[in-house]
Amino acid sequence: MEERSLWNSELSWATGDWGPCSRSCGGGQQTRTLRCMRKVTYQREEMVAHSLCPVVSPAQIQPCHTQACPPEWSTGSWSQCSKSCGRGLRKRTVFCRSTDPGASAVVVPDSMCKQHHRPKAQETCVLRRCPKNEKLQWIPAPWGECSRSCGSGIQRRELCCGERNSQGGYVEYPVRRCRNMAKPLVDLQQVCSRAPCPELPRVVPGRTTTSFAGSGWYPSSWQQCSVSCGGGVQIRTIQCLQQSHASTRCPAHLRPITSRACNTNFCPAAPPSPAPHNRVLAAGPTLKDERCIDHFNWCHLVPQHGVCNHRFYGQQCCKSCSSKKP
């Protein structure tokens, strides 16, 4: 041990090394040993009573690590377990506080403490195993939605772990509660059919396709003609579908027509009726009619077939019939 001596005649104080500090921060103390030594010969000393050495002695205690301590995490007591049996949860408060000695603890923002040292605020707990529930069973859940909106599809269901109640329903539990029970032999999927899908269009050689990126226009069958003679109209519905589901990706310029002329043959002539005036009213339109418009996109064909004198065609295709008159 390295020593220093303060001589007073043949007596002196000898000091040892400083010991470790009592605290790592916030002000601690460290001590060292003192010995009173007397010189016996030029090269030899012996230890004697402290009272023989000079009254003024070297310091035996000194302060150390006086820098302020950083805040640290502190915790409250654990709460009771949330369940009396089985796996539960218990919680406690975790807060950051100052640690300066000699002062009362002060709660400071959590950001002042080291986040990777933060204690956990909750943990699982098991007081005891729960007794076996004899009423637990695998219960089939209700069937899910059909996989397709039309035609034949598949619907599925799952097995739930639960306990049936007196109202006919059941209380569901975690699946692990039934993991040691045999599952019943019931179907978990079945075939379903909601409504027939729209009729697919027949491929006609030379006709332009109406599909686009998997989508296509699908027309229904033509409805019955509105009249039996004298020119009528047939209508049908058009749907844009992609794999039997409604779509909006069909090109508008390829949309098929929804109405067409039908039964354009002349009706049998009816007996003439007396007219109150001598002039004959034409069945067709006049140029002076202010509402002379075409109501169908096929009206341009009416003059070509020479049926503008039909009352129906003359009224519904007024513009096309008027433009063809000399």
pLDDT in the model for residue 253: 81
Interacting residues of 237 by C-beta distance below 8 A, sequence separation 6+: 219, 220, 258
Place of tokens 């990706």: 249
Q: What is the pLDDT along the chain (326 residues), one digit of tens a residue?
A: 444 444 445 888 888 999 999 988 888 899 999 999 888 887 788 889 888 888 888 999 999 988 888 888 999 999 999 988 888 999 999 999 887 665 567 888 988 888 998 999 999 998 887 766 778 889 898 888 888 877 788 899 999 998 887 777 778 888 888 888 888 888 999 998 877 776 555 544 444 444 445 678 888 888 888 887 777 888 888 888 877 778 888 888 888 888 888 877 777 655 555 544 443 334 444 444 457 888 887 788 888 777 788 778 888 888 888 875 55
Spatial distance between the Cα atoms of 50 and 138, rounded to a whole number of angstroms? 88
pLDDT in the model for residue 55: 82
pLDDT in the model for residue 206: 41
User: Hey, what domains does the chain have and what are their CATH numbers?
Assistant: 5-64 (no CATH), 72-126 (no CATH), 137-193 (no CATH), 211-262 (2.20.100)
Listed in sequence order, the DSSP H helices in the chain are 301-304, 311-316, 318-323
pLDDT in the model for residue 102: 58
Using the 8-state DSSP alphabet, how is residue 253 labeled? G
Task: Using DSSP, state whether 190 is helix, strand or coil.
Answer: strand
pLDDT in the model for residue 20: 94
> Whole-prediction pTM value?
0.31
Q: Which of 144, 130, 123, 143 has the alpha carbon at shortest distance from 173? A: 130
Pair 92, 122: CB distance under 8 Å:
yes
Task: Using DSSP, state whether 259 is helix, strand or coil.
Answer: strand
Place of tokens 């009573």: 49
Using the 8-state DSSP alphabet, how is residue 294 labeled? B
